[in-house]
């Protein structure tokens, strides 16, 4: 029984969103297909945050944003990102969240956590109080920027409006094809660039593995046919 309890404890740690394996991701992009409780039937209304290269969704009961070609959600004290408005979502480590996402003023969080209370609405959240001294040291200067030098906001991928609930492409490979064909924007932020790179590499690896498996299955069927 003691051995079984130890195994269950290890499994629970690995499945936890705060597991050490997730916290040690080099650039902060985690495994896709994370369920964060967001299920949008249609493309959301997105409004520019004044003075920021960021959009927010005033009509959603969620902390939902768009920046540099990706959708961003703050949920359960974690950040997630996706290239499509309804996921799949990838975990983003707190050390790798882009500075302009961290700088979004408190008032644009439609479902702020309780610890936001008392903070200035026109200023960003006090992330250093939430994530600790190590985070503050590694992300030093995140809240200091020249507003006159802020980059232009990325164009919204409006082509996704035509893909509502039933038409939404769930396969990541199909999402990639549509995006490459319909959305030519090139991200500037290193974290966003890494998201695309890792996601496409993962898709290519999955495709090669599927092809290998199909080829192996076909060879086995041919061998069985010859041995009859």
pLDDT tens digits for range 109-161 = 999 999 999 999 999 999 999 999 999 999 999 999 998 889 999 999 999 99
Q: Which domain holds residue 168?
A: 24-227
- Total number of domains in the chain: 1
Q: Is the pTM of this model over 0.85?
A: no
pLDDT-derived band at 19 (thresholds 50, 70, 90) equals very low
Residue 108 lies in a domain: yes
DSSP symbols for 92-116: E-GGGS-HHHHTS-GGG-SS--GGG
Range from 30-44, 183-197, 208-222 carrying the lowest mean pLDDT: 208-222
Q: What angle do CA 106, 109, 114 make, to 5 degrees?
A: 80
In a domain, 13, yes or no: no
Cα–Cα distance for residue pair 207/47, rounded to 1 Å: 37
Q: Is residue 66 part of a domain?
A: yes
- Sheet of 90-92: strand order equals 47-48, 54-56, 63-67, 70-75, 78-82, 90-92
Residue 3 pLDDT greater than 80, yes or no: no
Asked which of 13-22, 102-111, 165-174 is least confident by mean pLDDT, the reply is 13-22
Asked if 71 contacts 147 with a C-beta cutoff of 8 angstroms, the reply is no
Whether 109 is in a domain gets the answer: yes
Higher pLDDT, 106 or 209: 106
Residue 15 lies in a domain: no
Q: Is residue 151 part of a domain?
A: yes
| Residue 95 pLDDT greater than 90, yes or no | yes
């Amino acid at each position: 029984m003691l051995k079984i309890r130890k195994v269950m404890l290890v499994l629970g740690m690995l499945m936890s969103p705060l597991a050490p394996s997730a916290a040690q991701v080099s650039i902060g992009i985690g495994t896709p297909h994370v369920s964060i409780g967001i299920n949008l039937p249609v493309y959301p209304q997105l409004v520019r945050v004044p003075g920021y290269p960021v959009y927010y969704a005033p009509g959603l009961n969620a902390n939902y944003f768009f920046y540099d070609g990706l959708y961003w959600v703050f949920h359960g004290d974690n950040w997630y990102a996706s290239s499509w408005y309804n996921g799949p979502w990838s975990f983003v480590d707190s050390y790798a969240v882009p500075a302009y996402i961290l700088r979004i003023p408190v008032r644009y969080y439609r479902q702020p956590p309780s610890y936001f209370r008392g903070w200035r609405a026109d200023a960003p959240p006090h992330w250093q109080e939430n994530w600790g001294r190590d985070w503050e040291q590694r992300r030093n200067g995140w809240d200091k920027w020249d507003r006159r030098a802020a980059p232009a906001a990325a164009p919204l991928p409006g082509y996704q409006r035509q893909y509502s609930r039933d038409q939404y492409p769930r396969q990541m490979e199909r999402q990639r094809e549509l995006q490459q064909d319909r959305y030519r924007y090139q991200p500037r932020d290193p974290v966003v660039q890494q998201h695309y790179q890792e996601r496409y590499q993962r898709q290519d690896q999955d495709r090669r593995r599927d092809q290998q498996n199909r080829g192996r299955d076909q060879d086995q069927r041919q061998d069985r046919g010859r041995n009859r």
